[in-house]
Structure 1
């Protein structure tokens, strides 16, 4: 069994191949149970969350991710998500590798948003707004730039110093599609929404950040951060105005606060959800049909995505 560090995981997962690997996995499928959630108390801080996420393809690969989300880590200058990924031979059970799960998670999460945007964002989208300044923020920007040709990226966050860090990192990025773009901060989310064609939100917020009244016709809204029913990044008006898509119906209708709370409030029904990534990648549902419509994608993450990414990493390390 080998240990694969974060840098090796990163180099094995360039954005466009990773997006295409996710597309193929959603189109063909695998066994991907809804993940286990466990609250872990942290004295004097918000509870952490332990996530257990298995997935496998018979006779091929089996993987399990153990992840812990610690909201208090922001004050420590640490990533909110820490994780490890165990990859086995599904036929024999032989352990093959332990991968850095943090890097695997941020990259497959960003790639899933990019995959959805490839179906749902306008082809002429030119301005991307990233809301949030965590580890995911620069990954989301780069992943979105792998499926659309943007002219500029705007960044909003609660802490100006963190916004400045993300802007600086993106300006120094050599990622394809990012280098050379106009990149800068925005003072308010409303100001960013007024000019953005695609809005990507990745926070740990429990209160709505995006007001549906701010969304322009033709906008694509990508909601990434709220992974528990008690968390939320959008208000009910977003759901009323948009054509709603999710990564997986089973996960989003159980875990995603944006979806769960909107259904409870009567702003959305499960039948209003147009499709998930299985339907889009499998060709059973169409994406954007009109440049004027507002589209919304809500992801909570799925173990299928981890397995697709881990498979690419395994191929890379075996061939090196």
Structure 2
């Protein structure tokens, strides 16, 4: 995370980067590159600090700190399940980025926008390693919220997409996301159902579901499934059969053991053992783990980690300082 940006002492007043700035400054592929660079620089996700979750009347407060030699940061996020009914985002919050040696604040970023950028970037990095480069994919996307839009952009930045099928509880929102995919140049984009799973090369799940979205027996051998919607041990988007069939990859074995209900529930059922992991994101990036052959599905389960927020926030800050230098 040693990006070439001015030191904190050169900028005593923290930059304030709103949602529009965060989205504009760093495209999805660059965010994925920042994550890969952090892992190649030796960051160990297994030793990363766990998130703290505090129940509150409106939902849940999450505290996510992370640090390296050069940088430190903390995200305070709110998860308010009642917000969408009020026309407000479900995820709220702010990110405070600090200079590592002095712990002086250098920037405050919109936390929801950072999450909307970071989570698809993590998925994109996994997709780089779990899907064949140069091979067009048919994308099945579960969800129609900000993460669904973010994941659509991230997948398009990584792979050629010949078809997008959107599955969501709200037909109108699903149709709007499909129309957005057509505007982005996808030849075919439509709404669909879980019955479209067998035809998908890439299935992305970014919902608030607490129970499986589809029958895991339907996923084709060699297809990739990315599940990012939950970080609770009793919630999942995929079923036990898919997990049993799949080569499973995670951000961190320790984080998955704490929070990945998609894996913990099958373990509790006795369907898989606790060692049912083919590798981690760091092992994929370093080449220590490789995708399996075409006979089995690949499942990447993400719970979201604080080191990812820090890596992407540093990259956004670097882009902001460069942008400021051009306009100053």
Fold shared per TM-score above 0.5: yes
Distance change (3 Å), C-alpha of 1:24 and 1:118: same
Distance apart, 1:125 and its partner CA: 4.4
Q: CA deviation at 1:32?
A: 2.7
Q: Does 1:294 align with 2:309?
A: no
1:38 aligns with 2:42: no
- d(CA) in 2 for partners of 1:263 and 1:210? 19
**Structure 1 residues without counterparts, runs of 5 or longer:** 43-47, 174-178
Q: Secondary structure at the match of 1:183?
A: strand
| Residue in structure 2 matching 1:141, options 120, 141, 152 | 152
- Please, which of 173, 179, 184 is the counterpart of residue 190 of structure 2? 184
The alignment's TM-score, normalised by the length of structure 2, stands at 0.89
Which residue does the alignment assign to 2:126?
116
Q: Does residue 246 of the first structure (1) align with residue 250 of the second (2)?
A: yes
Corresponding position: 1:170 with 2:181: yes
Which residue does 2:31 correspond to in 1?
18
Contact 2:163–2:186 (CA under 8 A) maintained in structure 1: no
Helix, strand or coil at the partner of 2:102: coil
Taking the aligned partners of 1:121 and 1:298, their CA distance within structure 2 comes to: 15
Q: Are 2:302 and 1:268 aligned?
A: no
* Superposition TM-score, scaled by structure 1 size: 0.92
CA–CA distance in 2 between the matches of 1:172 and 1:112?
24
**What is the match of residue 259 of structure 1?**
263
Equivalent position SS for 1:152: strand
TM superposition shift of 1:180: 4.1
CA 1:95–1:301: 2 relative to 1, 3 Å = same
Q: Is the 8 A contact 1:217 1:293 kept in 2?
A: yes
* Equivalences, count: 306
Quote the offset at 1:318 in angstroms. Answer: 1.3
C-alpha separation in 2, matches of 1:166 and 1:180: 12
* 1:210 CA drift (Å): 2.3
Query: Paired residue for 1:71, among 57, 78, 81?
Result: 81
Q: Write out the 4+ residue segments of structure 1 that deviate beyond 6 Å after TM superposition.
A: none
Offset, 1:181: 3.1
**Matching of residue 5 in structure 1 with residue 18 in structure 2:** yes
Cα deviation digits, residues 251-290 of structure 1 (max 9, x gap): 111111111111111122221111111211222211x232
In structure 1, distance between residues paired with 2:39 and 2:273: 24
2:309 matches 1:306: yes
Measured after TM superposition, the shift of residue 76 of structure 1 is 2.2
Contact 1:128 1:152 in 2 (8 A): yes
Q: Secondary structure at the match of 2:278?
A: strand
- The whole-number CA distance in structure 2 between the counterparts of 1:83 and 1:32 is 21
Find the aligned partners of 2:298 and 2:289 in 1 and give their Cα distance: 14
Aligned residue number for residue 176 of structure 1: none
Unaligned runs of 5+ in 2: 1-13, 324-328
Give RMSD over aligned pairs: 1.5
